[in-house]
Structure 1
């Protein structure tokens, strides 16, 4: 028969070490015709080569058209959940921000725990979760071999997650979808997760299922068939966290007196309180952004970028922070913010004492590098403890640096600045501004009640 042959030669697996990825290629020939099959890791290549050799030793016929043993049944490739999630990550990675990449990995790691084909994993839970996170970092996965301690867990994951088509099976798809939703609604320890966390992961996984539908792997989104009550989230700023001007001045003075490191950070925290900068915007602030710093009166800054912290695994550069466009703004769009006279003084003093970094960065770390979370958080908590009374210190008042920005926006609104102007300075939409800061707008209740009384009094 011309469509089969027994002339089979199997060669040594070839390893290609590229700049971004290492591949393993199994090569063989049937009837003099060469064949090759690439794999992402050595274990997969070895398994495939071993199957070819076993068939050849048994004297099985090989098909001329496919190069495979005739005895191998042609089966439609079954896509496992784990393999599908890797494909999803690869598709989304180039277009997602570093923090969104990390969020995708967190959601997929939790969801995968609910989709094993056996009750318990072969590896310790911390190990296979670490293996999943490693898998979902495309930059790391494509540039290096997995750490030795994760290799076994990765091989196990490749074989022990459900087939994606299980979501379409009657009586099985809905329970699987509900199991996933239940898992992402809880922490690793089994406690109820914060509502914001659960909803964020639900949004990621809904997009995952829509992608499966888009590529034809699933006929419909299985989550749409499950009634799941969305956890209620706190969407407004708690007014108990917002400091007033007197407390802000106490805090900034405590920062300055904290240490030599604190002296460098007084203007840094001042930018969050007086100009409502996000921490990642203050980290990226450059001298060129300070349009005017007059000797007296108001100044102006024009922001162009921010450097949010996501972790080196999720950035393209491999650094913990990556410079990006301003939040909610297109690439190249800027935002002008007035500089309060007191902040003008702080910035002028800071620049005179410390200058700028090599790239014009206004705030640099104690050792001359980028300002890190670890550096400014230590000063923040130390100064908060010294500046506040015992009652204030144990309260939710300014528990995190971001609360300084909340205080700035609240102050602008309570001063009567029109909402569209506040939204422009803060980098919000008006709708989001009024929804988030609704409880922090003081002094309007009395006026509202007076108007109602005037309209209804005898």
Structure 2
């Protein structure tokens, strides 16, 4: 804890709030060197006594700590109000913010929203949708630092007043109810396994942070018995992977309706790029030769995320490759057919000012997923019968990446090399594409047959 103190202290009047349940809560607010602090209380007497202690310390000329908990030095070692689970979550995401990618910030905010809602023990003045919207803004450090709108701030005051204290995570019944809450969506349906996994990882990390903040001695999740869950990496269903004929027919359909996007989809189909990698591809990343097979050199990605989650304020700003440090590169094969498509795209459509091949129609920013998603849906409707189009075959543009990786594996490219090209670990690659390697069972059966025949 820092020893820095200040005598620039302002103590505000008590703030009361009546909840729908009829209960009234009270909040003491004060500032130290311009930094605001607050403490919630269930009764007027407790709040008033605490406020009077602050006033007395200020009148006696005591210095107040500039950092948490913002108390006069004589009160630091006294029993002070525990932070709410909401306040703990805000402090946690502030700690994570500087080193987190924009996409991870948004994902973490979503997880913390679900955790906080599960820790509320009273009603707020808005419905569930508006509550989650306000919490998502609260878990955006940039927006919170700039100052949230008055209506959002009012909702968050409600949240602070009815939220359990962070130390109540240690109550097994409370923690089990939180786990149950984050396992479900807002409409009560069971959340997808990967969503549950992400939320539980966030909860564990939040409680580890609480241990650092000395809210607990050990992580409460280690102390309770819960149903053990196994989260397997989702395998690619071969039923979504288009074959060579279907892939080319789809690209031909795109050429007829959205010629500016043919090369974009071809990058996923032939080179296995993720959409955010294709969106950031520049002229300088292409093969040197205008003809024949070569290599694409990937240097970054441009995930689709709002400007409020980025440091620059730019929507979908460029960042490093997935699971790579800034400056890392990855080489992927560029078939001669893809090379021809890319250079034809350059001749016809040119590039954005920064050299990107693909850009938004209106402002030249990132190519929107809604734009290329509609183009892909139109191509499927042209190529497939209504029955096939209603199914999962090539339903998402991302399924073209699965087609590329499956093609590499099924043409005897070593898995280690395929993993390197795809930007996966070898373990993840083999698990994800286990069902897409054609002929594996036939080959294994033939080997066993030869083995038995030899005995």
TM-score (norm 2): 0.84
Following superposition, the deviation at residue 456 of structure 1 comes to 1.0
Following superposition, the deviation at residue 61 of structure 1 comes to 11
Q: Does 1:82 align with 2:112?
A: no
Q: Secondary structure at the match of 2:308?
A: coil
1:30-429 aligned at under 5 Å gives the runs: 38-39=35-36, 62-65=59-62, 75-118=79-122, 120-143=123-146, 145-168=147-170, 173-224=171-222, 225-230=224-229, 232-233=231-232, 235-258=234-257, 262-295=258-291, 297-367=292-362, 369-370=364-365, 371-429=367-425
1:246-284 deviations in whole A, cap 9, x for unaligned? Answer: 0011100111112xxx11000000001000000000000
Q: Which has more radius of gyration?
A: 1
Equivalent in the alignment of 2:20: none
Question: Is the deviation greater in 226-235 or in 363-372?
Answer: 226-235
Following superposition, the deviation at residue 102 of structure 1 comes to 1.1
**Alpha-carbon distance in structure 2 between the residues aligned to 1:305 and 1:329:** 9
Say how many residue pairs are matched: 414
Equivalent in the alignment of 1:442: 438
1:370-417 deviations in whole A, cap 9, x for unaligned? Answer: 211121111111111112223321221111111110000000100111
Q: Secondary structure at the match of 1:39?
A: strand
1:11-65 deviations in whole A, cap 9, x for unaligned? Answer: 999xxxxxxxxxxx968xxxxxxx8663179x99xx9xx979x969x99995444
Equivalent in the alignment of 1:21: none
Conserved in 2, the CA contact under 8 Å of 1:111 and 1:183? yes
Following superposition, the deviation at residue 99 of structure 1 comes to 1.4
1:59-81 deviations in whole A, cap 9, x for unaligned? Answer: 99954446899xx9954232111
Following superposition, the deviation at residue 328 of structure 1 comes to 2.0
Q: Secondary structure at the match of 2:307?
A: coil
Q: Compared with structure 1, are the counterparts of its residues 217 and 383 closer, same or farther at alpha carbon in structure 2 (3 Å cutoff)?
A: same
Q: Which runs of 5+ in 2 are unaligned?
A: 1-8, 14-28, 65-70
Question: Is the deviation greater in 410-419 or in 391-400?
Answer: 391-400
**Alpha-carbon distance in structure 2 between the residues aligned to 1:293 and 1:312:** 37
1:69-110 deviations in whole A, cap 9, x for unaligned? Answer: 9xx995423211111111101101011111111111111111
1:291-328 deviations in whole A, cap 9, x for unaligned? Answer: 32433x21221011001112222111223312111112
Conserved in 2, the CA contact under 8 Å of 1:272 and 1:278? yes
1:400-437 deviations in whole A, cap 9, x for unaligned? Answer: 11111000000010011111111111111212111110
**Alpha-carbon distance in structure 1 between the residues aligned to 2:180 and 2:209:** 21
TM-score (norm 1): 0.83
Q: Compared with structure 1, are the counterparts of its residues 447 and 38 closer, same or farther at alpha carbon in structure 2 (3 Å cutoff)?
A: closer
Q: Secondary structure at the match of 1:249?
A: helix
Quote the RMSD (CA, aligned, Å): 3.1
Q: Does 1:431 align with 2:427?
A: yes
Q: Secondary structure at the match of 1:324?
A: coil
1:173-196 deviations in whole A, cap 9, x for unaligned? Answer: 111111111111100000111011
**Alpha-carbon distance in structure 2 between the residues aligned to 1:402 and 1:438:** 18
